Structure 1
Amino acid sequence: MAQLDQTLTMLKDLTDANGIPGNEKEVREVMTKYIKEYSDEIVTDGLGSLIAKKTGDENGPKIMVAGHMDEVGFMVTRIDEKGFVYFQTVGGWWSQVMLAQRVTIFTAKGELTGIMGSKPPHILSAEARKKPVDIKDIFIDIGASSAEEAKEWGVRPGDMVVPYFEFTVMNNPKMLLAKAWDNRIGCAIAIDVMKNLKTEQHPNIVYGVGTVQEEVGLRGAKTATFKVQPDLAFAVDVGIAGDTPGVTEKEAMGKLGKGPGIVLYDASMVSHKGLRDFVTGVADEMNIPYQFDAMPGGGTDSGSIHVTANGVPALSITIATRYIHSHAAVLHRDDYENTVKLITEVIKRLDRETVNKITFE
């Protein structure tokens, strides 16, 4: 692998960390390592979301920037008599991206390598070959010869199973390939926004948050928001890239390298008009590229954030990403850096008067 700069090293550490919903400890430790020097204090909520606080003006509004720490993965449910491991998906998966993929099972005795398998096509009927394999018919082969041997190696129901993939800078060094971009890129943006504001005077209190359990229903965002009680919030997540073969703009608008995506609408919320207009106004002022996005079939942490307590004006900002909810995904470094720049510039302008004006627009 080519020499990594400071930013790429952080991105590698975040994406290499393993954490499906309910198992985010390793990711939280990595995020804490990077965000602590830019924070006044770090706490967690009862579900394990990380909340880092940096005070600019103690009488100013509370601004929350959230990325979720969890990634899609699997959980062991049973071991059959031959030692094959069966699982529950944790987060959304499509069976066609799962077969023959390498995974890591995290047991009390250490890590085990496995490969996802199913009945080979050579013995299927012609009709069966035309259909995707059902997830319930996929298993994990760890090389065990019996249930007893698998158990001796430490495998037990409830163990976390995570896709295996190494962080890779592609031939175009702006193109970054890794597992878990959904949503370690959001965690990285929260870290770098806090970093940018460390030496800047900002008229508010900023919270960089790593939420848990987003992939199973935006759960950590609800508890973290309740703890912070922000005046405004941003959820930063991946968006659907629409720039690969076969995808039309009607299906997905996001394009790699064209700037952060300002989400107008998704299945979990209608974006706050006042906040959306303010953010795009700052982007226009600073000549920061951006694109609009709409995801009628998906949602982000904003879906929970905006309906917590008395309601929180919220906006989702996305990074166009190819092949999400699979073993590996691709995004563009410029989109990451422009999102950090945009959110930083927005926060520097969010004083109490401005927030009050935004809230009621």
Structure 2
Amino acid sequence: MLLKRLTEASGVSGNEHEVRNIIIEEIKNYVDSFKIDRLGNIIAFKKGKENNKTLMVTAHMDEVGLLVKEIDQSGLLKFVPVGGIDKRVLVSKVVLVGDNKIPGVIGAKPIHLQKKNERKEALDVDSLYIDIGARSKEDAETKVNIGDYVTFYSEYIEFGSNLIKAKALDNRVGCSLLIDLIKEIKDTSFYAVFTVMEEVGLVGAGPAAYSVNPDIAIILEGTVCYESPKLESHQIPTQIGKGPAISLADRTTVYNPELRKKVVGIAEDKGIPYQFRKTGMGGNDSGKIHTSREGCLTTTISVPCRYIHSPNSVMSIDDYNNTYRLLKELLSSYNKEEL
């Protein structure tokens, strides 16, 4: 299954080549052209009916992870986070280090040895290390190097009421949706762009948008989901099973209301469930895309994902399918020059 391959691949920001290779393998026979730019973005073009406006549909390839910064004398690895990771999720997690995917475990001082004040707060990253089973620094250096990327190890599992558990759903779910569009859509001209380094500052999106120069962009994402019963409804950003989430505003973009109304109107007309993303926190590639060149109208459509930026995120297959339904209808409206 495509989403399984994508989520189980390693692709921490700045090291997306494994994910990029999977995507190219999947799309190369379905696009009229594609290129990899200097940063590593994939910019593909699918030719169909000509349109007065240029459409770009985009998803970022990278995920949050870690980077080895030091190997100590005992062979333990010290690291820095790459992207926004909650340090509370790190202890005891299994990871894969470097291109050879050396297995390791994130370790810390046992709770039995911690002082009372240490137990009250999450351990700082500087107090953690990766144990790869090395006997010494020299032993570890035969397996890994300073600068190696570290990915969480997490298997793709389908469980519960049509749910998926996997790492990197932010944003392999967007990549999977975009690949599906490329394969199925035959009569619509659009650029399909897979960007790099979104998690460390929307790095790839700006140059990609400058190259394509779109009039309209649809950004595909896996977004934050939290449904605690202690929260009032307006505080819940998105909910599993309620359909694709349409963004109102976030840290990097206040979305064009007229374009949003068109997206909502299409969803309602076609009977596709949808919800609004109700938090202004976070951001995505729209932040760089909508300010490129003369500017671009953007909309972000996301699949809600619980436990985002952790080794184990959860999403609904129904939400995925309804997001895909909405995307197909949006491209159909664009083809009719109604978007």
Q: Smaller-chain TM-score range? A: over 0.9
Deviation at 1:296, TM superposition (A): 1.8
Deviation at 1:242, TM superposition (A): 2.4
State how far apart, in whole Å, the 1-side matches of 2:103 and 2:264 are. 46
Give the drift of 1:36: 2.3
Match for residue 179 of structure 2? 191
Deviations 1:199-227 (A, max 9, x none): xx33xx21121110000001111111111
Give the corresponding residue for 1:358.
none
Q: What do residues 228-277 of structure 1 show as CA deviations (whole Å, max 9, x unaligned)?
A: 11110011111221224544433323111111001001011101112111
Task: Tell me the residue number matched to 1:20.
Answer: 12
Cα distance in 1 for residues equivalent to 2:316 and 2:228: 14
Q: 2:132 aligns with which of 142, 145, 156?
A: 142
Measured after TM superposition, the shift of residue 333 of structure 1 is 0.7
Is contact 1:76–1:156 with CA below 8 Å preserved after alignment? yes
**Does 2:54 correspond to 1:62?**
yes
- 1:164 maps to 2:153: yes
Q: Among residues 32, 35, 58, which one is paired with 1:43 in the alignment? A: 35
Q: Hey, what's the Cα distance between the residues in 1 that align with 2:337 and 2:5?
A: 39
Structure 2 partner of 1:124: 114
CA deviation profile, 1:322-361 (whole Å, cap 9, x unmatched): 0011101000011111111111111111158545xxxxxx
Map of 2:82 onto structure 1 = 90
CA positional deviation for 1:50: 1.0
Contact 1:61 1:351 in 2 (8 A): no
Q: Is the 8 A contact 2:51 2:335 kept in 1?
A: no
Match of 1:73 among 55, 58, 65: 65
Give 1:1-361 correspondences, 5 Å limit.
9-107=1-99, 110-153=100-143, 155-172=144-161, 174-198=162-186, 201-202=187-188, 205-244=189-228, 246-351=230-335, 354=338
Alignment-mate amino acid for residue 161 of structure 1 = V
**Alpha-carbon distance in 1 for matches of 2:250, 2:319:** 20
User: Over aligned residues, Cα RMSD in angstroms?
Assistant: 1.5
- Alignment gaps of 5+ in structure 1: 1-8, 356-361
In structure 2, relative to structure 1, the CA distance for the partners of 1:77 and 1:248 (3 Å cut) is: farther
> TM-score when scaled to structure 1?
0.90
Deviations 1:15-67 (A, max 9, x none): 11111011000001111122223211111221111122111124542211111
Q: CA deviation at 1:111?
A: 2.2
Looking at structure 2, the residues matched to 116 and 31 of structure 1 have their Cα atoms a distance apart, in angstroms, of: 30
Length-normalised TM-score, structure 2: 0.96
